[in-house]
Amino acid sequence: LRTDSPRPPFDRILVANRGEIAVRITRTCREMGISPIAVHSDADAGAPHTRAADHSERIGAAPAGESYLSIPAIIAAAVRSGAGAIHPGYGFLSENADFARAVEAAGLVFIGPPPTAIEALGNKLAARRAVEAAGVPIVPGTTVALEDDVSAVERIGFPVMLKAAAGGGGRGMRRVDRPDELAGAMAAARREAAAAFGDGTIYAERLVSPARHVEVQLLGDRHGRLAVLGERDCSVQRRHQKLVEESPSPGITEATRAALFESARGVAGTVEFHNAATVEFLVDAGGNHYFLEMNTRLQVEHGVTELVTGLDLVAWQIRIAAGDRLPDAVVDAPRRGHAIEVRLYAEDPYDGFRPVAGRIGAWRMSEGPGVRVDTAGEAGMEVRPEYDPLLAKLLVHAEDRPAAVTRLRRALDETLIGGLQTDAGFLRWLVDDEAFADGAYDTGLIGERWGAGPPLSDEDTALAAFVAAEARRETRPGATRRVATRSVSPWGERARQDALRG
């Protein structure tokens, strides 16, 4: 796409993040002729994201609070390295208005929405009031901080969700089913919110269930032009956090889609907005939608939109930050085909999706037509408890949803991660699940259909037993090395004969 400026908008950009998103941003910098600068904590010295960049600055000790969340350390690193702008990625400082201001105060460009927008939308309660005033439907509930008087909550009707005003992204949420649980839950939610966000303010929303979680991608330039780049359906969630995202949503009508886009414009209009953001909604079984929150940053799942629009969202974030105008080709970008992303996490889906730490063994990512993998993982890498256990994002793109699901099944079968349990077994189950295949699923899918996962099939049990026994035979001291082995019944005898023939 043609841009206003033929020259790179910045000589160097500091990527204030780690892992796959740092690698992904680095790639766009390279394509734009910009020198990417990485940052690393002591735990990440030599990590893949530092090797992808031209240079990496040490910013502190392993705990994120002493490195990736340290505003002074990151600003100092940017100044030392001669970067003209900072891209915050997602998580860490990406939605921290103080950080955005500190970047600007240091004479650098913050690649993201203005601090005032980050601040206004970061307070979820204030955002609810502003959005409601703009005529966009919000989830029914309170629009002022909850006090000890519970009558406001009782008027909403149970079950309710208690949420932290300073929360977001599924953090700081607590479900309450009965009035007698309310007082205790409110006290616990306040404590959690105060501990996690330094602000114990909470509010209540009616639980919308069944519901789909659908979000709208926005890009806005500094000259008042707004691009609505379609929606992503993120209804496959555990712990209120996303595991799978797809576009277009298989569960909404064209009328609902148009209404979502209109509401997303309305939400963006409540603040002075530019750069990239996502407006999240719940859509109930009747097709009614309710504003949840607006995230003023690049989302983990932005690649889904990139696949259906063919746009590089990170490149546009950088151009917008440099003052470029959004051309018609972006504002009216057609959306083609269907894209699905699945997140590969180091966590155990057979044990409540509990995060696991450990060392990655084998590491094979899928390739081939219509497949994109965003990752900073590799064989032998230590998955540390300090950071997010996201190992990789596997994305597929195809002409329609059935073809995309088929492609995803193939891509997952090519994906091999050893050394620790991952959610790959869940994802492989999901592509064969009837509700997912139909597209007729909602945010309750994991709770209702997966639970703790299906029991091991007899076939898989017998195969696992055979493979492990054969592997042990081969590693036994003095065992004959074989290239191939065959299981027969009785299974032991023939394998030994094969070994003897060697």
Partner 1 sequence: MIDRDHLEVHVAGTAAEPGAGWELEWVDRASGIVRARKGGRAVMLLVEGVGSHWAVTIRGRRIPVEVRGWRERVLARAETAARDDAGPLTVSATLPGLIVTVAVRPGDEVQEGDPLLTIEAMKMQNEVRAPRGGRIIEVSIAPGQAVATGVALLRLE
Binding site for partner 1 (CB under 8 A): 350, 361-364, 379, 412-428, 453, 456, 459-473, 475-477, 483-489, 491-492, 496
Give Cα separations from 405 to 158, 213, 428, 454 (angstroms): 37, 19, 11, 20
Q: Least distance (Å) from partner 1 to the CB of residue 241?
A: 19
Nearer to partner 1, 133 or 462 (CB): 462
Q: Least distance (Å) from partner 1 to the CB of residue 421?
A: 5
Half-sphere exposure of 265 (CA within 13 A, CB side): 13
- Block residue for tokens 């994305």: 395
Nearer to partner 1, 45 or 464 (CB): 464
Q: Least distance (Å) from partner 1 to the CB of residue 419?
A: 7
Strand order in the sheet with 160-168: 171-176, 160-168, 202-206
Distance (Å, rounded) from C-alpha 228 to C-alpha 278? 10
Q: Least distance (Å) from partner 1 to the CB of residue 382?
A: 16
- Reading the block at residue 100, the tokens are 């955005």
Using DSSP's 3-state secondary structure scheme, residue 153 falls into helix
Q: Least distance (Å) from partner 1 to the CB of residue 380?
A: 10
Q: Least distance (Å) from partner 1 to the CB of residue 392?
A: 13
Nearer to partner 1, 198 or 490 (CB): 490
Q: Least distance (Å) from partner 1 to the CB of residue 423?
A: 8
> Residues 6 or more apart from 128 whose CB is under 8 A from it?
138, 141, 143, 203, 291
Contact 396, 408 (CB under 8 A): yes
Distance (Å, rounded) from C-alpha 495 to C-alpha 480? 11
Q: Least distance (Å) from partner 1 to the CB of residue 400?
A: 25
Nearer to partner 1, 156 or 420 (CB): 420
Nearer to partner 1, 258 or 416 (CB): 416
372 forms beta bridges with 395
Q: Is the dihedral of CA 269, 271, 275, 276 positive or negative?
A: negative
The phi, psi pair for 22, rounded to 5°, reads -65, -40
Q: Least distance (Å) from partner 1 to the CB of residue 92?
A: 29
Distance (Å, rounded) from C-alpha 330 to C-alpha 489? 63
What is the CB neighbour count within 10 angstroms for residue 32? 19
Nearer to partner 1, 145 or 379 (CB): 379
Give Cα separations from 78 to 23, 31, 88, 386, 448 (angstroms): 17, 21, 12, 24, 47
Q: Least distance (Å) from partner 1 to the CB of residue 496?
A: 7
Nearer to partner 1, 113 or 419 (CB): 419
Nearer to partner 1, 184 or 380 (CB): 380
Burial of 498 (0-12, 13-18, 19+ CB in 10 A): middle
Region for residue 155 given its phi and psi (left: phi exceeds 0; alpha: psi -120 to 50; beta: otherwise): alpha
Contact 294, 169 (CB under 8 A): no
Nearer to partner 1, 11 or 414 (CB): 414
Nearer to partner 1, 158 or 466 (CB): 466
Find the radius of gyration of the CA atoms of the chain: 24
Distance (Å, rounded) from C-alpha 287 to C-alpha 56? 48
Q: Least distance (Å) from partner 1 to the CB of residue 462?
A: 3
Q: Least distance (Å) from partner 1 to the CB of residue 335?
A: 30
The phi, psi pair for 238, rounded to 5°, reads -130, 145
Nearer to partner 1, 188 or 357 (CB): 357
The phi, psi pair for 244, rounded to 5°, reads -140, 135
Distance (Å, rounded) from C-alpha 73 to C-alpha 77? 6
Q: Least distance (Å) from partner 1 to the CB of residue 98?
A: 41
Nearer to partner 1, 183 or 479 (CB): 479
Contact 366, 412 (CB under 8 A): yes
Nearer to partner 1, 11 or 378 (CB): 378
